[in-house]
Amino acid sequence: MRGGKPLGAYLFRYGAVITVIGVVVFFSIVNEHFLTYNNLKDILKAISVTTFLALGVTFSLVVDGFDVSVGSTTSLATIAAASALVLHRQELFVTLLVPLLCGVAVGLFNAFLVVKVKLPDLLATLAVMYIVNGIQLTYTKGYTIYEGMALDNGAATGRFIPSFLFIGQGELLGIPVAVILMLLIVLLAHLFLERTTIGRHMYMVGGNPEAANLFGIPVNRYRVLAYVLSGLLAAVGGIVLTSRIGTGQVSAGAPLLMDAVAAAYIGYALFGEKKPSVIGTLLGSILIGVLLNGLTMMNVPYFAQDIVKGSILVLALAFSFLRRDKKA
């Protein structure tokens, strides 16, 4: 391209955005009901939980880590919230606090294994994934927590209070509360990483930890912070998920892990930034949500949709590692 960058460079830089637009246009053509306000609202509502998990993965990627325990952390938060309401008859504050503390605890445990024990991030968080999943299954004995469930001493007397259900099922000015919460946290996460000293230091830790250490940046503290934020965001996803479905389903977060990882790595390829991106992660979640919604409207079986999700992850990883090779 004369007087500018080659066409391939523009496609590489804006490929993720072009893909999202192209997919939306395609489904709008093949289904007249796709590009409607209600359907788009449903898509955003559906991806809200996945986005929280994907943001957790993004924070771990920022410090050159990788947290695959976000799905099990979401499951644990789901059980914790439902248990607080149904089994222990708590009010909103405790119901929100307990799962958030669970998320922080998982993040600290991940950080301990990675920073202190010095296990590889993937292996450490994979082990934690199994441990946390085992904890929530042991606590529930494999049963879903729901109103009126049978207990050894009778039936559960607690209930899902309206103020809690409002988080996942309510709307403000026609916009789902879950979507508003998602966009708010995306904005805060973006500003935190891009506009604050802590965020810039976290990127330095991920880019070159040795150089960051020479500059006096406490590398290990920022790695701990990244995993705590990852666990906290996964717990927020669990709260929203529990509020939406009105039950505490065991292992509810496990199916969301690959969607979250794919969304985070799509963010890696956005705008050629050569780093994890909060806005890119949101676009990745939207792309996955649009694809699954469109495929469902086209009556594609749900089990075949995993092929599409897997293909998206392969493409995202290919772009990420191709960019790394070029940078090297």
Q: Is residue 272 helix, strand or coil? A: helix
- Pairing mode of beta strands 154-155, 171-172: unpaired
pLDDT at 307: 85
Contact 77, 216 (CB under 8 A): no
Contact 251, 176 (CB under 8 A): no
pLDDT-based confidence at residue 117 (cuts at 50, 70, 90): very high
pLDDT(3) > 60: no
Interval 153-206: pLDDT, tens:
878 888 999 999 999 999 999 899 999 999 999 999 999 999 999 999 999 999
pLDDT at 24: 83
What is the average pLDDT across 248-258?
91
Torsion angle of the four alpha carbons 275, 278, 282, 285, in this order, in degrees rounded to the nearest 10: 60
Q: What percent of the chain has pLDDT over 90?
A: 60
Span of 88-92, 96-100, 129-133 with lowest mean pLDDT: 88-92
pLDDT at 317: 65
pLDDT(1) > 50: no
Entry pTM? 0.90
pLDDT at 161: 95
pLDDT at 32: 84
- Closest by CA position to 269, among listed 11, 55, 1: 11
Contact 62, 203 (CB under 8 A): yes
Give the containing element (helix H, strand E) for 187: helix 177-195
Interval 12-44: pLDDT, tens:
666 667 777 888 888 888 888 888 888 989 999
pLDDT(233) > 70: yes
pLDDT(312) > 80: no
What is the average pLDDT across 283-308?
86
Interval 38-96: pLDDT, tens:
898 999 999 999 999 999 999 999 999 999 999 999 999 999 999 999 999 999 999 99
The DSSP code sequence of 164-179 is HHHHHH-EETTEEHHH
What is the average pLDDT across 292-316?
80
pLDDT-based confidence at residue 325 (cuts at 50, 70, 90): low
Q: Tell me the pLDDT of the chain averaged across its residues.
A: 88
What is the average pLDDT across 110-134?
96
pLDDT(4) > 80: no
If you search the block for the tokens 């500003």, which residue do you land on? 191
